[in-house]
Structure 1
Amino acid sequence: MSVFILQYMHTMSTQKQTKINLVLQNMAPGAVLTSNWLTVHGVSNNLARRYVSSGWFERIGQGAYIRYGDDVDWQGGLYALQSQLGLKVHVGGLSSLRLKGMGHFLSLDADQSIQLFSGSAKPLPAWFRETDWGVQIQHRTASLFSNAENLQMSSVPHKSFEIEMSPPELAAFEMIHGIKDNSDFDHARTVFEGLSTLRPKESQELLQTCKSVRVKRLFLWMARDCGHPWFKYMDMEKVDLGSGKRVVYKGGKLDQEFLITVPRPEGVSDV
């Protein structure tokens, strides 16, 4: 074998080694690596497959890899959706409140599921949906606000990165939106007791841009019923609460201010 060929093979091997080193240096430990991200960093699909064969990567689905031996959980998958694929999906509702330390009243069952919210009905990538993350993932789609694209998110650190989630005010609206029966109502009302520090300005803005009359009335009723100090700052003249009555709590009594049915106080009847 000629010296030229040997030098060429050595050069190519060095380049490949340098590229994988750069990839490993730029990746966030604990995160999924998507084909999009790898392409930006100079790794083609063919090269990614070679990295799998060489033991550098492990393929977890179409267009998704992890570093071999890396401990990747659902947060690492969500981080890839948010930061690498640019999807508008976030942790919301009860899950966000729990991760923010505000879900002290959540049941043990709630700890076993993660609620993700997005405004698009388009399903999440198959690799994310089909991977066993060790928790149940609930993807909820709802066009709840007129300014959905401009909603402010908060974040929580996890390992070497951060994931986006609803701030407490938005999470409260998402939680209420998910109420389907009396049990959900009672659970949400209990959780709402712990939301005494919601920010009035942010809550007011959400009230004014929320498109669901039912959710807005419930949010205000719960705030008033819990006696939260920020409730007095809500300017209801700027909030469209619609007209007519809404049956929310089956077998409940009608709240005369917000015209929704709510649980009956013990020992009190409508007579």
Structure 2
Amino acid sequence: MSDRKIQRLIKDAPRGQPLDPAMLRSLEINPAQTTYLVNAGWLQRLSKGAYLVAGDVASVEGIITYLSRRIPGLHVGGKTALDWQGVRHNVAFRPRITLWGSKSYRFPTWIEQHMPYTFQTTQLFDDQYSVIQWLRPLPSKSAHVLVSVPELALLELASDIGKRGRKGQSLDEAAHLADMLRNVRIDILSPLLENCVRVKVVKLVRDLGQSSGYPWGEDLQKYVNRLSQGKRWSIKEKDGRRLTLKP
């Protein structure tokens, strides 16, 4: 194998981002040469179809970029999306990254080692409503990493309330975060609530909005009425407390 290809790999491969076979082909490296580079110590094999240049370390943004080529609709959502946009209650040393996607995916074990995460494919909206319009890259992050706007992130945060395990989100922390969302745009929140099919989510956004005391939370009952038909909604939270939402 020529030194020119090795030099190109070292020079042009993106740092922090796992390389897949398509990316290696763009660097003129075929599967046989990939095996050679792994055996020679120029590439580190993370799992089938995932490599790093020797000495490189996978970053959060690099991993999400790698995953976005495999998971339709992948984006950073919920609590992490709010955190990345300056809305945070507690600062964690190594926070879990909240990922959302439209299809399930079997994550290789090395991802958890480099990036603690939760992933879910919960369908919050009807089939005709696409959330792609409410996903944005952030100026301070990679252009390949899409992040929920705060209004969508609020619905995703509400969806996690009451869930067990790593995906569970406490109502108390969600309320603290909602208290920081002074500038929620009702022209974005409104169509999200109109198209949401999860009564729990709509009721929780209503309650979080009312408790925040901001104008955006004053008139959300109409979205609940569209779904709930006057029924209470109840679930036991992960700490054992029962969460009951009024009609």
TM range (shorter): 0.7 to 0.9
* Counterpart in the other structure of 2:23: 37
Is the counterpart of residue 167 in structure 1 residue 149 in structure 2? yes
Could you tell me which of 25, 36, 50 is aligned with 1:50?
Answer: 36
The CA distance in 2 between the partners of 1:223 and 1:160, in whole Å, is 31
In structure 1, list runs of 5 or more residues that go unmatched.
1-12, 260-271
TM-score by length of 2: 0.81
Could you tell me which of 81, 87, 93 is aligned with 1:102?
Answer: 87
Task: Classify the secondary structure of the residue corresponding to 2:145.
Answer: strand
* Counterpart in the other structure of 1:224: 210
Is the counterpart of residue 136 in structure 1 residue 116 in structure 2? yes
Structure 1 residue 185 displacement after superposition? 1.5
Task: Classify the secondary structure of the residue corresponding to 1:116.
Answer: strand
Structure 1 residue 254 displacement after superposition? 6.4
Is the counterpart of residue 89 in structure 1 residue 69 in structure 2? no
> How much identity, in percent, do the aligned residues show?
23
Structure 1 pair 175–254 and aligned structure 2 pair: CA distance change class (3 A): closer
* AA aligned opposite 2:119: H
Structure 1 pair 65–239 and aligned structure 2 pair: CA distance change class (3 A): farther
The CA distance in 2 between the partners of 1:93 and 1:37, in whole Å, is 30
Q: Deviations over 1:58-91 (max 9, x none)?
A: 1111111111111322332111112x44642222
TM-score by length of 1: 0.74
* AA aligned opposite 1:79: T
Q: Deviations over 1:100-120 (max 9, x none)?
A: 2111x13648x5322111121
Structure 1 pair 142–151 and aligned structure 2 pair: CA distance change class (3 A): farther
8 Å Cα contact 1:200-1:230 kept in structure 2: yes
Is the counterpart of residue 215 in structure 1 residue 201 in structure 2? yes
* AA aligned opposite 2:99: L
In structure 2, list runs of 5 or more residues that go unmatched.
236-240
